[in-house]
Amino acid sequence: MKIATVLRNDDYTREVEQALKDKLASTPCEFVEGPDDHPDMVLSIGGDGTLLEAVHQYGVEPSYVGVHTGHLGFYADWRPEELDEFVQRLQQDRPAIVEYPIVDCRITMRDGAVHRKWALNELVLRNASLSTLVTCVYINGDELETFRGDGLIVSSPSGSTAYNKAVDGAIVHPSIEAIQLSEIASINNQAYRTINSSLVLPKHHEVELIVMNPEIMIGLDREQDIWRDVRSISCRVGQEKVKFARYKRLTFWSRVRNSFIKG
Ligand code: NAP
Ligand code: MN
């Protein structure tokens, strides 16, 4: 089995990687360096943010395993103290593969050019300046509303516990193939009105955000860029999924409890 690692940039994380490499030295596992080496498994060592970086570097081909060197995350199963157990399971067990849906995004420019992007957590749309974002929201071609406010988030199920949760979006189990549209500080008064609730859209439904501002900020997981002259952004559940190799049972709801209620 070919394994690649993606690390958070700190000394402790690098120590954990070295310890893991030492433990796997006498096994058939081979460590490789980058996407061109086509690893079977990518080990993310760090936090949930490190895992996001790993999936954008390696894509949907390999399966992912997370070791957390900070607090227990949503994408990481193993603590550094459990490396021996992990190494043992890696050699003996066939992992359960769980697949998490992604957000598929099509960004259409005013000149007609189209950019395809995707996110494991979410797409975030904000105005590039502090003034109001103005966006017409369409669902499956039907107008829903004109949104005015700070921004909009289109999250995946596994991203629903991240930024989406901070704006009171619902937590969606990753076995549900859906995307969620959530508002960031919408203006609701006598003149302007939005739905003011998060919307959960099933597979094959499409949310289209027609952009009125000349310059916007688009966030895709960790990446964020200022875009000029965007006409619209369309999001739907992606066809492909990100695969996680689960060598131990850790349910999504127990992660929710560990992260938000009791660690
Ligand atoms: P970060 O500032 O370290 O991320 C913020 C927090 O979100 C960290 O505690 C991170 O965990 C956690 N996180 C990431 N993905 C998660 C998930 N799927 N479920 C629950 N928690 C999750 O930045 P980052 O590490 O580069 O992560 C990028 C993500 O930060 C974005 O995708 C966005 O969801 C989130 N974010 C949240 C807010 C907010 O809540 N107001 C604002 C901006 C961005 P780790 O510490 O383990 O990395
Ligand atoms: Mn982080």
The enclosing H or E element of 255 equals helix 252-256
Number of domains in the chain: 2
Q: Which residues are CB-contacts of 168 (< 8 A; sequence separation ≥ 6)?
A: 182, 198
By C-alpha distance, which of 91, 94, 95, 87 is closest to 19? Answer: 87
Q: Are residues 128 and 158 in the same domain?
A: yes
CA 111 to ligand 1 center in whole angstroms:
33
CA 171 to ligand 1 center in whole angstroms:
15
Q: Are residues 125 and 77 in the same domain?
A: no
Mean predicted confidence (pLDDT) in 8-20:
97
Amino acid at 84: D
Please indicate whether residue 219, judged by its CB atom, sits closer than 6 Å to ligand 1: no
Closest ligand (CA of 252):
1
- The whole-model pTM stands at 0.97
CATH number reported for the structural domain that contains residue 252 in this entry: 3.40.50.10330
| Beta bridge partner(s), residue 149 | 133, 186
CATH number reported for the structural domain that contains residue 235 in this entry: 2.60.200.30
Domain that holds residue 18: 2-95+247-260
Q: Atom 9 (ligand 1): residue with closest C-alpha? A: 48
Q: Are residues 232 and 111 in the same domain?
A: yes
Q: What is the pLDDT of residues 95-107, one digit of tens each?
A: 999 999 999 999 9
> Looking at ligand 1, which atom is closest to the CA of residue 68?
47
Q: Are residues 29 and 88 in the same domain?
A: yes
Q: What is the pLDDT of residues 226-254, one digit of tens each?
A: 999 999 999 999 999 999 999 988 899 99
Q: Are residues 107 and 235 in the same domain?
A: yes
φ, ψ at 54 (rounded to 5°): -60, -45
> Looking at ligand 1, which atom is closest to the CA of residue 158?
18
Mean pLDDT for the chain? Answer: 96
Please indicate whether residue 49, judged by its CB atom, sits closer than 6 Å to ligand 1: yes
DSSP assignment of 210-237: EE-SSEEEEEETTEEEEEESEEEEEEEE
